[in-house]
Structure 1
Amino acid sequence: METRLALLARKGDQRAFAELVELYKDKIFHLAYRMLNNRHEAEDVVQDTFLRVYKNLERYDENQKFSTWIYRIGTNLCIDRLRKRKPTYSLDAEMNDQEGIDGYAMIPSEDRTPETEYMLSETQQMIRQAIDSLPAKYKTVMVLRYMQELSLQEISDVLDMPVTTIKTRVHRGREFLRKKLERKL
């Protein structure tokens, strides 16, 4: 379906492009927000992603999944922003922003008390801080794997790297997170 929309958009069909935006804007936003941990930067990445998609529709290979192509563009824009950042360790920037808590973080439970809410919030914050402190090459694969739920092959396609490299980075990223979280607990 996305391939058909991309081909129609390539021919100038504005409604087809609008449909692609509608299908992917939230997915790209969540990817960018999780990688950058900054709402404004994530919004910028969404806009930049769709600008690049629009400008480069001629270069889209219809034999490739559209989702892989757009995720690659969004991921690369995030990586560029992470590289340009000066290393700051203000890990609580936007952490307390309740809007930033996604649905996956709100695990449903019958017996949630203020105490369990607080503990859940503390745990979420520790995990976010640990992910935020990962080196960019590990952070990228961890976000794509565990937050965007892409397969190793899809991540390989997005990042244009061998699956073995992706497996290694996922393994090292998990080890890095485990060590970080062990120190906090």
Structure 2
Amino acid sequence: MTTNNDQYYISQIINGDTNAFSVLVDRYKDLVFTLALRMLKNREEAEEVSQDTFIKTYKALHKFKGDSKFSTWIYKVTYNTCLDRLKKNKKHFNDVAIDEFTEHQIKTIDNALDRMEQQEHNKIIQDCLTLLPNDDSFLLTLYYFEAHSLEEISKIVGITANHVKVKIFRSRKKLATILKSRLEPEIIEYYERERQ
């Protein structure tokens, strides 16, 4: 999935081979849908936004300059399309109440999760991500599951890399709050004792 490979298909599409677009759709449809679902918390709306994203991407493909990776560009289109949908629907999602967590507590929870089976770990985090406010789950998905850099995320959401870092830290605190309420207290207590 290199930029050069994407660029090949983009050139094909711009030169009139509309079928080449299906390669890009197949390549990015799952993550575009996942990101839309994280933002909108509604499967049907996420499907509609995914379709809108690919329509917008196709129509604006000639504007893609290749300054960033194509994936960064399409995720930015996804993000903005989600924001448009949220504004249109005027939906307000309740934020998760946060207790103040110290850095040690966040690390303790991270360590408890790290020791669980990887599959169980991913399932718990995926479940908890759906409970976060839309922006938070979007950012954490890009950063932790898609391994985008702070700079790439800053291009996608249109804020500075430092601001992204702060927002990711706050999102992790919210996630830690949810995880702490979900994890069995004995597991947390065991790992807290082990760290002392």
TM-score (norm 2): 0.67
- Among 38, 43, 46, the alignment partner of 1:34 is 38
Greater shift after overlay, 66-75 or 148-157?
148-157
Are 1:65 and 2:63 an aligned pair? no
Where in structure 1 are there 5+ consecutive unaligned residues?
Answer: 90-105, 109-119
Aligned length, in residue pairs: 156
Task: Give the C-alpha shift of residue 145 in structure 1.
Answer: 1.5
TM-score, with normalisation over the residues of structure 1?
0.70
Contact in 2 for aligned 1:35/1:132 (Cα 8 Å): no
The aligned runs of 1:2-151 (5 Å cut-off) are 2-83=6-87, 84-87=89-92, 107-108=118-119, 124=124, 127=125, 130-151=128-149
How far apart are 1:85 and its partner, in Å? 4.3
Distance 2:145 2:38 in 1: 8
2: distance between equivalents of 1:17 and 1:50?
Answer: 9
Shift of 1:135: 3.9
Take 1:68 and 1:134, find their aligned partners in 2: how far apart are those partners? 23
- Residue 92 of structure 2 aligns to a residue whose secondary structure is coil
Paired amino acid for 1:158: I
Q: Deviations over 1:124-179 (max 9, x none)?
A: 3xx55653454444333122212333222221121232111111100111112223
Partner residue of 1:168? 166
Rate the CA distance shift 1:81–1:148 in 2: closer, same or farther, 3 A: farther
Distance in structure 2 (CA, Å) of the matches to 1:181 and 1:169: 18
CA distance in 2, matches of 1:88, 1:145: 22
5+ residue gaps, structure 2: 95-116, 184-196
RMSD: 2.8
| Contact 1:35/1:143, CA 8 A, preserved across alignment | no
- 1:94-143 per-position Cα deviation (integer Å, ceiling 9, x unaligned): xxxxxxxxxxxx955xxxxxxxxxxx69x73xx55653454444333122
Between the aligned partners of 1:147 and 1:80, the Cα distance in structure 2 is 24
* Aligned equivalents of 2:91, 2:134: Cα separation in 1: 13
Structure 1 residues 184 and 21: alpha-carbon distance in aligned structure 2, compared to 1, 3 A threshold: closer
In 2, the alpha carbon distance for the partners of 1:140 and 1:86 equals 17
